[in-house]
Amino acid sequence: MTAADHPDRKATINQQAKNAFFVQDYGSTRRIDGVEIVELKRFNDDGGAITELGRFQGGLHQQLPGFECRQVNYSEMEPGAIKAFHMHHRQTDVWYVPPCDKLLLVLHDCRQGSPTEGATMRFVLGDGKDRLVRIPPGVAHGARNIGRERGRILYMVDVLFSMTPGECDEGRLPWDHLGADIWEIVRG
């Protein structure tokens, strides 16, 4: 017999454990206005797998209304590396991390007057899932590779990159802008 067979039974917990006891929050975190997560479908067969990252018509991504892809980039991160924070004034990013990789993504809404100004989102990309994440302009973003191997990011943007001063749309905040603990693995 198990405890599930006797729902009226309760274990008596000692005082030390009672003092430290808490219930983990399994609810979703507050979503930043404009951030979208699109669950993708992965098709597997005995020869491998394929994931469709998007269908485009005239540069417009059909699953992300209003997003016109102008450039596609590929980035790699060594295990343990943190690449943060960067932000754009005009550019929207759409990130994809392959399911075999595992990156902690941190987003922070820096847009003055936004309904979610000051909100932070923290979640894992990859780790067996196929998802796209739309990151709007004014939302600082960065990642930590928490996997054991090199991590990869494929990302689409709607503004062409330029290094020319006055045209460059990318700026940076310190990696610890939200405190160094934001990048730590939650233990417990």
Least confident span in 17-26, 80-89, 116-125, 128-137? 17-26
Burial of 99 (0-12, 13-18, 19+ CB in 10 A): middle
pLDDT tier for residue 91 given thresholds of 50, 70 and 90: very high
User: Residue 173 falls within a domain, yes or no?
Assistant: yes
Q: What pLDDT is recorded for position 1? A: 58
For 152-167, b/e burial (b = at least 16 CB within 10 A) is: bbebbbbbeeeeeeee
CA atoms of 188 and 185, how far apart (whole Å) = 10
User: Residue 118 falls within a domain, yes or no?
Assistant: yes
* 2, pLDDT greater than 70: no
User: Residue 75 falls within a domain, yes or no?
Assistant: yes
User: Residue 80 falls within a domain, yes or no?
Assistant: yes
What is the average per-residue pLDDT within 63-68? 94
Q: What pLDDT is recorded for position 18? A: 78
Share of the chain above pLDDT 90, in %: 76
User: Residue 166 falls within a domain, yes or no?
Assistant: yes
How do residues 8-31 score in pLDDT, each as one tens digit? 788 888 888 878 887 766 666 678
pTM, 2 dp: 0.85
Contact 61, 67 (CB under 8 A): yes
Tell me which residue range forms the domain holding 159: 32-182
What is the average per-residue pLDDT within 168-185? 94
Q: What pLDDT is recorded for position 8? A: 79
Contact 51, 59 (CB under 8 A): no
Total structural domains within the chain: 1
User: Residue 8 falls within a domain, yes or no?
Assistant: no
Across the chain, mean pLDDT equals: 91
CA atoms of 139 and 136, how far apart (whole Å) = 6
User: Residue 14 falls within a domain, yes or no?
Assistant: no
Partners of 40 in beta bridges: none
CATH number assigned to the domain comprising residue 90: 2.60.120.10
Q: What pLDDT is recorded for position 13? A: 83
pLDDT tier for residue 120 given thresholds of 50, 70 and 90: very high
CA torsion angle for 57, 60, 65, 69 (degrees, to 10)?
150
User: Residue 129 falls within a domain, yes or no?
Assistant: yes
Contact 91, 137 (CB under 8 A): yes
